[in-house]
Amino acid sequence: MTYPFLKGHGTENDFVLLPDHDGSIHGDLSAERVRALCDRRAGIGADGVLRVVRSENPDPAVEWFMDYRNSDGSISEMCGNGVRAFARHLLDEGLVDTTAPIHVDTRAGVKVVTQTEDGLLTVDMGEPKVFGQSEISVGAETWTALHVDMGNPHAVLFVDDLADAGDLLTPPVHDERVYPHGVNVEFVVEKGKRHVGMRVHERGSGETRSCGTGACAVAITAMLADDAPRGTTYRVDLPGGRLDITWTADNHILMTGPAVVVAKGETDL
């Protein structure tokens, strides 16, 4: 039996989208099916899966739930690039009012998405949580990283050169007392005033070309290091593109960037 899928990405963090509005197609999506869909040789290939399900949220403005899975089949609370790709799909398919903000329900709460005049999407990522520091190691190198939570966990550290992170073919070593459920690790370099570059090793997906929640965690860390005033916007360059992050006076993080759906089809994976 085949079922519909779409392929989309936000700054080359790519996803298989699975329309499953009433939950009758995939039900409790298995980790095995997610791995098969995300396999870049035997499957469609992606960093993760976004299942598109009607939300049970009592707020009538919140119509859709983004069921995000990492490519290894694990579940994560939140996916920033994924929310933009998800909203782009809803807009493309006429599943939401194209003139109003889009409320996407996630495991980390409702995220509100608005369209910019130049065709980008801005996501209100909510309020970040900033904790302490811990050590992250790659091979013989060890750095001190800041713990930032965007609904999912991040460890952010500065390097002189992004190549210092090595090949990132294996997960950086983290302190399991700090991150008992694993962690997304971001490596950051300064590129100019309010301008940084980053690489990321994602929990459950490995190194990806981009990470929206990671870019938010990176911008927050840089803003704190610079003692930047609230309302400041930082540019974050990722291997897959650019995201602009603003920390508002009322402690919300806004992330702005592109999102596209590049293909649709049927699969029996």
8 Å CB contact between 184 and 50: no
Element (H, E) at 123: strand 121-124
79 included as an active-site residue: yes
8 Å CB contact between 198 and 245: no
Does the annotation flag 184 for ligand binding? yes
Which C-beta is closer to ligand API: that of 213 or that of 221? 213
The active-site residue, picked from 44, 211, 238, 253, is 211
Collapse the DSSP code of 59 into the 3-class scheme (helix H, G, I; strand E, B; otherwise coil) and give the result: coil
Does the annotation flag 203 for ligand binding? yes
Shortest Cβ 106–ligand API spacing (Å) = 10
Shortest Cβ 74–ligand API spacing (Å) = 6
> What does the alpha-carbon distance between residue 143 and residue 258 come to, in Å, rounded to a whole number?
32
156-185 burial, b at 16+ Cβ within 10 Å, e below that, comes to bbbbeeeeebeebeebbebbeebbeebbbb
Pairing of strands 141-149, 109-115: unpaired
Which C-beta is closer to ligand API: that of 14 or that of 97? 14
38 included as an active-site residue: no
Which C-beta is closer to ligand API: that of 25 or that of 107? 107
Does the annotation flag 57 for ligand binding? no
How far from 224 is each of 61, 146, 229, 244, CA to CA, in Å?
Answer: 34, 10, 9, 16
Site for ligand API, rule CB under 6 A: 13, 70, 76, 79-82, 152, 184, 202-205, 208, 211-213
Which C-beta is closer to ligand API: that of 76 or that of 158? 76
Does the annotation flag 241 for ligand binding? no
Q: List active site positions.
A: 79, 211
Q: Which residues are annotated as a binding site for substrate?
A: 13, 70, 80-81, 152, 184, 202-203, 212-213
